[in-house]
């Protein structure tokens, strides 16, 4: 015997309605049902065809239609046909309209525009993790922004902060003993941001870091001569790259992130 069908009618992809139907069916042994989506409905003819199918299969319907005229049409026609039909979104929209004293946009698919925004953010966060601390130089060529700096200039937290703004960020540590990846010299300098810091501030940060790790704060990592050597090497690399710089000596990550975004925005505007 063929499984009974629940027809899911939507003016978008129908994912929301299907999730609600699945959640409800789980209370009734959902193995006894099949869900059939009817997506992107924007005419009465498709609604009538689906009603005929539901009637011939003795099925029920669920729908998420934002336009009131289509909701009323399907309500009226399913009643006439004796079909059980559930308006999943309509009552919520109507209640919100009353409570907020505002008119809804009544545009299909808006939730998926939000989803797209969400997935872009997740993709950017995953990118920042994958190409953190120069672990894979190939990311330099794929990034929207490339951050460079010596150790403890907040490259990683800054990358994550910018990732939540949907920028794909790679960051590269600059160390005298290690040649910068050749990919760094192949990108447009406008994509690269160098994070400068004064030696005294860096010395303090590194000493505190060593203490937090239970290590001797007089280690070479926090030695002032070593720090000056690193910063001189860093400045030479920045000059070769011709990239823009931001002094992070007295800036919070959020403040630096805003400056980076402004630099990128201005660069985009200049390119128009």
Annotated binding-site positions for ADP: 149-156
Backbone angles phi, psi at 105, to 5 degrees: -70, -30
Query: For residues 135 and 128, is the Cβ–Cβ distance under 8 A?
Result: no
Q: Coil, helix or strand for 163?
A: helix
Other beta carbons less than 10 A from residue 254's beta carbon: 10
All residues at 6 or more sequence positions from 86 whose CB lies less than 8 Å from its CB, including other chains? 60, 61, 62, 63
Cα–Cα distance, 156 to 110 (Å, whole number): 33
Give 115's contacts (C-beta < 8 A, 6+ positions apart): none
Element (H, E) at 146: strand 145-149
Closest CA to 193 of 271, 269, 266, 117: 266
Calculated CA dihedral for residues 152, 165, 256, 177, nearest 10 degrees: 30
Q: Binding-site residues, please?
A: 149-156
Tokens of 241: 């790259």
Contacts 24+ apart (CB under 8 A), 185-189: 185/240, 185/241, 186/140, 186/141, 187/140, 187/141, 187/143, 187/146, 189/241, 189/242, 189/243, 189/244
Question: Angle at the Cα of 169 (from 202 to 174), degrees rounded to 5?
Answer: 40
Q: How far is CA 100 from the centre of its chain?
A: 28
């Amino acid at each position: 015997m063929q499984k009974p069908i629940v027809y899911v009618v939507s003016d978008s992809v129908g994912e929301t309605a299907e999730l609600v139907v699945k959640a409800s069916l789980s209370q009734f042994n959902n193995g006894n049902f099949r869900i059939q989506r009817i997506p992107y409905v924007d005419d009465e003819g498709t609604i009538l065809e689906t009603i005929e199918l539901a009637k011939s299969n003795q099925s029920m319907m669920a729908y998420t239609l934002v336009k009131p005229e289509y909701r009323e049409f399907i309500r009226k026609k399913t009643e006439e046909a004796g079909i059980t039909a559930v308006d999943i979104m309509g009552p919520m929209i109507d209640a919100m309209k009353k409570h907020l004293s505002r008119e809804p946009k009544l545009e299909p698919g808006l939730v998926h525009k939000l989803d797209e925004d969400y997935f872009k953010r997740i993709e950017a966060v995953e990118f920042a993790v994958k190409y953190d601390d120069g672990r894979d130089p190939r990311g330099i060529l794929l990034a929207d922004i490339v951050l460079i700096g010596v150790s403890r200039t907040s490259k990683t937290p800054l990358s994550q902060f910018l990732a939540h703004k949907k920028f794909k960020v790679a960051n590269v540590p600059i160390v005298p003993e290690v040649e910068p990846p050749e990919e760094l010299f192949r990108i447009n300098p406008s994509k690269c941001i160098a994070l400068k810091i004064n030696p005294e501030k860096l010395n303090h940060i590194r000493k505190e870091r060593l203490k937090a790790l239970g290590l001797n704060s007089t280690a070479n990592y926090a030695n002032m001569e070593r720090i000056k050597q690193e910063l001189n090497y860093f400045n030479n690399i920045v000059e070769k790259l011709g990239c823009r710089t931001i002094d992070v000596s007295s800036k919070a990550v959020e403040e630096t992130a805003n400056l980076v975004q402004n630099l990128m925005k201005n660069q985009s505007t200049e390119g128009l």
